Structure 1
Amino acid sequence: MSSYRYVKKLPKAVVKDKYSNKSIKPLFRKFSLGFVGIGVFFLGNVFYPIISYEIKKLSFGTSFLRPSSLNSQTLGSANTLNYQDPKNWFLSAPDLVARPTRITHYTMSIPKLGIDKAIVQIGGRDLLEGLIQYPGTALPGQYGNSVIFGHSVLPQFFNPKNYKTIFSTLPRLKIGDEISVNFDGIVYAYEVVEMMETTPEDISILEQQYDAEYMSLITCVPPGTYLKRLIVKTKLVYER
């Protein structure tokens, strides 16, 4: 008779996986929350200035607001036009006759915004090189309306020395704030009298009013977009 011997099989050693689901899930959750937080941060940086501007716009007063409807041509061209050239800001604007002057540029200061002696080119074509006065509009100190264009981006990137961002905080101005220009050795001080928003189709801002000496500053709004135009209208209060 054959004999059999029973051999008890030893259990396999259980090795604890340091990368088990229990340890991975909390780590994955932390990464997910981190990415969500980063996304919210970047979205907030984009949308907060726009929302803030829309609230600020309520203080402009309805009597100064222009129609805000946008046609398909404006929206379609917003991504293709060269906005470094102020001629493209108001597509239907007429070519005004340039006023005779030997001066090609002057300086502007806006103390509230930290802008000091920014260059304003008369009839320039590149807003990355300076602020630009629309050709044919009144020169500083003259009766009429000096119209000045400046570039803007999201306000958190504002740098008063960088002409790509120089008008980014223009919406922060209020009625009564002062702007000064040095034109041909004479300092002209202007005071903000109106703030309004308009569309690229509205070229009335280029019209000349000869009852006083005005200066209008223009930039694109809402912040970071080219959809509309902010107009800050000022009036001469003194010169020295």
Structure 2
Amino acid sequence: MALYYYVKKTSLPRRRILSIASTLFVFSGLSVITWVIYPILAFELFYAPKFIGLVRPIPETIISEAMENAILGSGDERANAVYASDVDYTKASNWFPKVSPKKLEYTFGSYKVSIPKLSIENALSIVGSEDLSKSLIHWAGSAQPGEYGSAIIFGHSTIPWLYNPKDYKSIFSKLPDLVRGDEIILTANNNVSYKYIVEDMRIVSPDDVSVLEQKYDDSYVTLITCVPPGTYLKRLVVTGRLSKF
């Protein structure tokens, strides 16, 4: 006659389940906070100090409000504007809506942009175009490459870990990595290339239209994107002067 015996099924103690769930919840919350706040804090710690005259580009109140918004889903309009906006900034016309570009005659409608330090090679810049998700945009009121004045180029950015130099939605995310002396190369459709050397980097407010001004003592290039990358708080303006190859 076979013998049988009963073995009680063991179950995970309820307290242990709650402990694991709590730990997962905490780590999930920290991950969300890190994802939201890191671009701002990293920008202040590692990039902002190199911009002359810039002590604190992002006010502490906005940082704290952005964190509150990440945790509680609250916060005022300034904090919400850090990562979200009703304005579609993939459209170039929304960058400076109060300024209408002058109608200038261009010998070509597009050209290529290369920034060796950022692994950007032959990125397309279209004169007077609109969609920043498909190309860089040459502001139609600015000089063309190689001429006196400044060729102004808008480029989109996003959080640094999504950077892809071939994706126009993130192409200027690493622009803060540039320093004085770095090269920017513009190549026209006639295969003539112009090398510019970075000589100035500054951060301005989104409504500062002085960055669109033209000065005609030399040939310049001006690159503009939003900073901290992934936000719409400020604008990084990188200026280079024409140099010989």
Pick the TM interval, shorter chain: 0.7 to 0.9
TM-score of the two chains, using structure 2 as the length reference: 0.80
1:51 and 2:56 correspond: no
CA 1:233–1:43 in structure 2 vs 1: closer, same or farther (change >3 Å)?
A: same
Distance 2:58 2:177 in 1: 22
C-alpha contact (below 8 Å) 1:66/1:196 kept by paired residues: no
- 1:78-93 equivalences under 5 Å are 79-93=85-99
Partner deviation per Cα, 1:67-117 (whole Å, 9 max, x = no partner): 99x9x89x88x7222212222112322x23233223111101111111111
TM-score of the two chains, using structure 1 as the length reference: 0.82
Q: 2:29 aligns with which of 32, 39, 42?
A: 39
- 1:163-202 equivalences under 5 Å are 163-183=168-188, 184-202=190-208
**Displacement, 1:46?**
2.8
Identify which range, 40-49 or 135-144, moves more after superposition. Answer: 40-49
Partner deviation per Cα, 1:15-44 (whole Å, 9 max, x = no partner): 977347xx2212321232123223323322
Q: 2:233 aligns with which of 208, 227, 233?
A: 227
Q: 1:111 aligns with which of 108, 112, 116?
A: 116
For structure 1, the residue ranges without an aligned partner over 5 or more in a row are 1-14
CA RMSD of superposed structures (Å): 2.7
CA 1:104–1:90 in structure 2 vs 1: closer, same or farther (change >3 Å)?
A: same
Question: Which one-letter code corresponds to 2:25 in the other structure?
Answer: F
Counterpart of 2:34 in 1: which secondary structure? helix
Report the count of equivalent residues. Answer: 219
For structure 2, the residue ranges without an aligned partner over 5 or more in a row are 1-6, 63-76
C-alpha contact (below 8 Å) 1:217/1:233 kept by paired residues: yes
Partner deviation per Cα, 1:200-240 (whole Å, 9 max, x = no partner): 2210011111111111100111221112211111111125x
C-alpha contact (below 8 Å) 2:157/2:172 kept by paired residues: yes
Counterpart of 1:220 in 2: which secondary structure? strand
